[in-house]
Amino acid sequence: MSNKPFRFALQSFNTDSPANWRSLIARTEELGYSAFHLADHFLSTGPAMDPTGHPPQLLGAVPAIAMALQQTSTLRVGCRVFCNDYRHPVILAKEAATMDYLSGGRLEFGLGAGWIQNEYEAVDLPFGDFPERFERFAESVHAYKAFMGGEPLDIDGKHVRWSGFSGIPSPSQKPWPPLMIGGGSKKILEFAGREADIVSLNFNNRAGKLGPDGMNSGLAAATAKKINWIKNGAGSRFDDIELEIGAYNTIITDHQQPTAAAIGDALGMTAEDILTHPHCLIGSVDFICEELERRRAAYGISYITVLDDGENNMVEVFAPVVARLAGK
């Protein structure tokens, strides 16, 4: 389906020291990864976030992205993905334009509608139902693109009303820093097909927490359905879109079957479900490389993100796959 070259990113949530954070970013660049991603969550461990199963995030996304851009020269850096409701959209647009301008065009800008209700409620931020959040998010996407154009703004939406100023600074990347839209629902993915440069395939996180429901929504057949939703939204521009996915369970091992079976047992799935799950990469380097090439042919996914939790040394563990496939 796709002949786009492979790109790989490392997404980091935690670090035990500033020095190790700087070292992680440097190794990500040295080892040939294309990008370094943050997530966008402001709560750490505690009774608000613990039930969601989401890993706590130590660092604030915007300053961490800016510092990562400052200390690298080729690495692309971004957020996978910013939550639309956590900042005023004009502030986020200006910060994005500034980071792209100062870095010489290395920002990747990701945006999503938000999904962790517990996090909203912990800081008394209105959550609302999904149609309402989607409406706010969609207006922000259009406003982001308008801001990056640098022309006088006159936006009179339901949620975004900007007028009397122009978007500055002008970003280095034209017409805007690549827009990544992430999600797992039909509505989000059809919209992403229409609007995004990069579509990040995710679980359908309607439950507001990570677990079997989310994993089931990312199985192979469900992922194929998601690709069709993107195609429906994209129409003739589908071939211009880069498809990205998070390989949330990445384990390089010579004990593939028992490892996959243990994960499957915990989630009510078979080992085969896990081995073919587009969000899992379990096996030898040879198997993972072959499986990624198979998935690119089947789904068109060429952009893979693996997760560093501060302890798994994923930047080094996954490096042989990056060395073999990046850019090919």
**pLDDT category of residue 211 using cuts at 50, 70 and 90:** low
Contact 81, 200 (CB under 8 A): yes
138 located within any domain: yes
Specify the pairing of strand 198-201 against strand 161-166. unpaired
Looking up residue 242, the CATH number of its domain turns out to be 3.20.20.30
User: Is this model's pTM higher than 0.85 or not?
Assistant: yes
Q: What's the total number of domains in the chain?
A: 1
pLDDT computed for residue 310 by the predictor:
81
Q: Which residues contact 71 (CB under 8 A, 6 or more apart)?
A: 22, 25, 26
274 located within any domain: yes
Region 12-16: mean pLDDT is 82
139 located within any domain: yes
Q: Which of 4-13, 98-107, 112-121, 233-242 has the lowest mean pLDDT?
A: 112-121
220-232 per-residue burial string, b: 16 or more CB within 10 A, e: under 16: bebbeebbebbee
Contact 244, 301 (CB under 8 A): yes
Structure tokens at 210: 């990570």
48 located within any domain: yes
Structure tokens at 129: 């139902």
Q: Which domain holds residue 108?
A: 7-325
314 located within any domain: yes
Mean pLDDT of the chain: 93
2 located within any domain: no
1 located within any domain: no
**pLDDT category of residue 180 using cuts at 50, 70 and 90:** very high
Q: Which of 63-67, 82-86, 123-127, 201-205 has the lowest mean pLDDT?
A: 201-205
For residue 209, pLDDT beyond 60: no
Structure tokens at 21: 């954070």
The pLDDT tens digits for 186-206 are 999 999 999 999 999 997 656
pLDDT computed for residue 206 by the predictor:
60
